[in-house]
Amino acid sequence: MVCYTIPLAAAIISTILWSSQRRGPAGWWLNLLLYGGAMFGVVDHLWNGELFLIGEAPLMDLLLGFTITAVIFGGWGITFAVARAYPNLGYRMGFLEQKRR
């Protein structure tokens, strides 16, 4: 029941790393996706009244959290690859920074 903690931890770590080194819009998008995944988990658990409950199989809950985080990273990676393959699309999405002259 604590599966949302893994995306939340990844989001916090990503925020710390992103703020210490300027990563560009791609890092910002990754942070949004990770916080969104964590927020979805928190809302789901609040809705069901089990926010701070630890289930019978906490390792399975953590595995679910790692799976959610991996899917978020995978979706972000696919989006980043598409943005790099089609730069005009990446600029319009705000995923890539335009080079300044």
Q: Helix, strand, or coil here: 84?
A: helix
More confident residue, 49 or 90: 49
- Between CA 39 and CA 48, with CA 42 as vertex, the angle to 5 degrees is 140
The structural domains of the chain, with segments of one domain joined by +, span: 5-93
Helix pair 5-20, 25-47: axis angle to 10 deg: 160
Give the angle subtended at the CA of 11 by the CAs of 9 and 16, to the nearest 5°: 95
Q: Which residue has the higher pLDDT, 87 or 42?
A: 42
Quick one: how far is CA 36 from the chain centroid? 7
Q: pLDDT: is 76 or 87 the higher one?
A: 76
pLDDT 10s digits, 56-74: 888 888 999 999 999 999 9
Per-residue model confidence as pLDDT tens digits over 1-45: 688 899 999 999 998 888 766 667 888 889 999 999 999 988 988
99 versus 6: the higher-pLDDT residue is 6
Q: Check residues 61 and 94 and name the one with the higher pLDDT.
A: 61
pTM: 0.82
Residue 64's pLDDT is 92
